[in-house]
Chain A
Amino acid sequence: MREHIKNNIMSFFIIVTLVNIAIFVSGMILAPDEKLSYAAFIVPVVDGLLGVIPGLVMYSKRELTVKQIIIRDIIQLISIELIMLVFSFGFSGFDNADVPRLIAVTGSVALVYVGVVAIMYALDFRTAKKMTDDLKAFQKSKS
């Protein structure tokens, strides 16, 4: 459980950073002259909190198989997309004029999700390398 919470906290900060980048990039493309208020600074934090909810809810004590993990990750991505769409558009739905924004939101969420997975993998890769180095030192000291 402790590892799971640690991973979700890490995911939160990665999401906040990537959402900031996504807002910057999509804003520059879709509305470069738009002026944002101070309230805009809280959006990445709220997105980060909303983004980790599915991960926290879908915690399993069991060791999942690779297939189960892939299915869980797909469900998680769909859940995050729905949460973000509700957060962005409310429950009232959207019309044709909202389509570019809708595409921008869903695309950004998917990109941020992939970004989080890639960064987490890179961090795990670094950890694995450090473990392998420690392992070699351990084996050398024992042989």
Chain B
Amino acid sequence: MEIKIKKIDGEEHEYIEIGCHSENSRVKAIVKFVKGLEGSVTGSKGEKIYEIPIVDIFYIESVDNRTFIYSSKDSYETSLKLYEFEDLLKERGFIRISKSVVVNVMKVDSIKPAFNGRFLCKLNNGEDVIISRKYVSEFREFISRRSGS
């Protein structure tokens, strides 16, 4: 496999592109490795333990004292508490949006109004999560401060 490295202008976003005939296990291993460089967390699904790349996490939810990590299609249970994730991932674009949910802002597609001063985050995988009244101003401040508006 030939490896090409192209220098791009400082204004452009950095990216990695793989040219392949099919998305086989080798390609998947490379993608997993690159995502792993961005950090990962451990979660379990059934008997199996998985390393979930942080960039793949959509949101983390606490249900009945158990914590679940949601990716595009899968969910994993984890031993960490929600507040620990909140601390751990606050510099990685994750923010608490309700008593039980921490969302990855990079995975939010749009925001719509919901009942009673709440808002609905439409995620890229089609799921919806609610921003509760208490966390609306914090969420607004988080994205407006970091977007520079």
Contact = CB atoms under 8 A, between A and B. Distances in A.
A39 interface: no
B113 A121 contact: yes
A132 interface: yes
B98 A63 contact: yes
Contacts, number: 69
Contacts of A139: 105-106
Contacts of A121: 113
A4 interface: yes
A4 B133 CA distance: 8
Given A124-B119, A127-B113, A134 B133 contact: no
Nearest to A65: B115
Given A3-B133, A63-B132, A142-B106, A135 B113 contact: no
Contacts of A64: 116
Interface residues of A, number: 25
Given A131-B139, A135-B108, A3 B147 contact: no
B65 interface: no
Contact of B115 (A66, A133, A134, A141): A66
A89 interface: no
Interface of A: 3-4, 7, 63-64, 66, 69, 120-121, 124-125, 127-128, 131-139, 141-143
